[in-house]
Structure 1
Amino acid sequence: MKNFNHYAGREEFSAFKDFFLTHGQCKEMKKKEYFTLQGALATHGAYIEEGLFRYICTDDRGYEHIVGYSFAGEYVGDYPACLKKEKAMVSIQAASDARIYYASAEDMRNFFSTNEMTQNLERILAEELFVQTYMRLLDIYCKTPTELYLDLVKRYPDFQNFITLKEVASFLRVTPETISHIRKKFE
């Protein structure tokens, strides 16, 4: 199965994964348990061995917006805030029971400064994060809700087994009714 977040499929990512598996601590997380809270200092990142996490941004009016997901085989954490010692811009919640290997931001910074290969890996991860964010921005402005939904199905065909209709709607920035209409077209 393809990775939901494209960077995880890159060969270079295996060194980052190995870092977490070797130096990280294993933790079992229950569904709805928070890994990171919006507004709190982001202190850890993790590799997801099993499970699914949702990224939630709460606006000034108190409305929650699903802004991303991380699946098994991927990194989970507010990467920019973690490495820059800043407050998290999102809450990150387990959307299913999960097993992660987590490490401190300090340990991640030390890992990235180990040698030229790890410094290059840090640059690649930053580039991938930028590309992912840029593509999401273009998609929001240039694609129809149907195209966005079909892209999601193509990238992660099993998502409907893990993500509610309401969450899909929030992630795609449409109403749940719109998602229902789109699904009916393709049944």
Structure 2
Amino acid sequence: MTKFNTYLESNDFDRLKRFFEEHGELQHYRKGNFFARQGEYSSQAALIKDGTFAYTHIDNEGKEHYVGFVFPDEFVADYTSFMRHSASQVNIVALKPSTIFSVNRQALHDFYNTDMETLRYNCLMAENLYEMVYSRLLESYCKTPEERYRRLTTRYPKIEQEIPLCKIASFLNVTPETISHIRKKIVKNS
């Protein structure tokens, strides 16, 4: 199946995933539990065994914006906070009961420094995350809401069953009504 987060598609991250499974601490999250909090240092990265997490950002007016989602067999972390030891720009919250393999910053750095192949994972992760974010930025400026919605549902067909409409709309930076109109148009033209 196509991954929601495209950075995982272009490279083989099997050894990195095995590291998380073998050395990570198995943790369970209830719906609504925070993995990371905006404004605080995020010292953990994890591989999701099962469940779903959302990345949200609270703006200066207190409005919550959904800026990302992660699903089983994907990594969850505020990458910048984790790698740079800086304040997180997002909240990362469980959208449903979830199980993860969590490792701390030092353990992951030790893994990366094992050999040239593992060191390459760090570079690949940064490059692939950059490419994914850059693509999303271009889409937000150059694609219509319908084009962004169609790409999203093509890339991750189960998203409508996994994520509520209002959160999908926030992620696409449109209103829920816009998503409803797009869905009706798609059904009508099918």
Deviation at 1:58, TM superposition (A): 0.8
Distance in 1, Cα, partners of 2:100 & 2:50: 7
Offset of residue 60 of structure 1: 1.2
Task: Answer yes or no: is 1:162 the counterpart of 2:153.
Answer: no
Q: Give deviations 1:29-69, integer Å, cap 9, x for gaps.
A: 11111110011111100000111110001111111100011
Partner of 2:106, secondary structure, is: helix
Matched ranges for 1:87-126 at <5 A: 87-126=87-126
SS in 2 for 1:96: coil
Distance in 2 (CA, whole Å) between partners of 1:20 and 1:8 is 15
CA RMSD of aligned residues (A): 1.0
- TM-score, with normalisation over the residues of structure 1? 0.97
Mapped contact 1:53–1:70 kept (Cα < 8 A): yes
Q: Residue 35 of structure 2: SS of its match in structure 1?
A: strand
Question: Offset at 1:115?
Answer: 1.2
Return the offset for 1:11. 4.5
In structure 2, the partner of 1:41 is 41
Partner residue in 1 for 2:16 = 16
C-alpha distance after superposition, 1:2-27 (max 9, x if no partner)? 11112223443111111110110111
Amino acid at match of 2:127: E
| Matched positions, count | 187
- Which residue pairs with 1:134 in the alignment? 134
121-130 vs 108-117, which moves further: 108-117
Amino-acid identity (%): 39
Give the equivalent residue in structure 1 for 2:31. 31
Point out the more displaced range, 156-165 or 8-17. Answer: 8-17
SS in 1 for 2:53: strand
TM-score scaled to structure 2, two decimals?
0.95
Q: Distance in 2 between matches of 1:40 and 1:106?
A: 18
Describe the superposition over 1:121-177 as per-residue Cα deviations: whole angstroms up to 9, x where unpaired.
110000001000100000000000000000111011111111111101100001111
Q: Residue 41 of structure 2 aligns to a residue in which SS?
A: coil
Residue type at the aligned position of 2:134:
Y
Following the alignment from structure 1 to structure 2, what is the Cα–Cα distance between the partners of residues 141 and 86?
Answer: 28
Query: Per-residue displacement from partner, 1:58-112 (whole Å, max 9, x unpaired)?
Result: 1111111000111111000101210111111100011111110000011111111
Give the Å deviation of 1:118: 1.0
Residue 186 of structure 1 corresponds to which residue in structure 2? 186
Q: How far apart in 2 are the matches of 1:31 and 1:74?
A: 18
The question of whether the paired residues in 2 share the 8 Å contact of 1:95 and 1:162 is answered with no
- Name the amino acid aligned to 1:95: L
1:92 counterpart SS class: strand
- 4+ residue stretches of structure 1 with deviation over 4 A? none
In the alignment, structure 2 segments of 5+ residues that lack a partner are: none
